[in-house]
Amino acid sequence: MEKDIDRITKSADTDIVIRIDDYGGRRGLTIREFVKSEKYTGFTKSGLRIPADKFIIFKKAINSIDEKDFEEQKQETPEVKQQKQEKLKQSEDTI
């Protein structure tokens, strides 16, 4: 039995498919890339499989992720640092 849970677009020709399936007689969660091209259409080797008996551990791990962890940390480029220093110097000169 296969049950597609969701499909996330990765690029114009690649989706990430999340599904519950039976592989080798064992049920589990599969997260795998699916490509559509002239040469090949189907699942790739890129992906992972979570056995059903490990799903609770996986779900806890996923649910423990804070969305704030995905916010970009602003890393200043040398140019930005230089601009800030110049602005600081200008503001000090006006004082």
pTM of the model: 0.67
Strands (E), 1-95: 3-11, 14-23, 26-36, 41-51
Domains of the chain (ranges, CATH numbers): 1-54 (2.30.31)
In this structure, the number of other CB atoms found within 10 A of the CB of residue 21 comes to 15
Per-residue pLDDT of the chain (95 residues; tens, 9 = 90+): 889 999 999 999 999 999 999 988 999 999 999 999 999 999 999 899 999 999 999 999 999 988 888 777 666 677 777 877 777 777 666 65
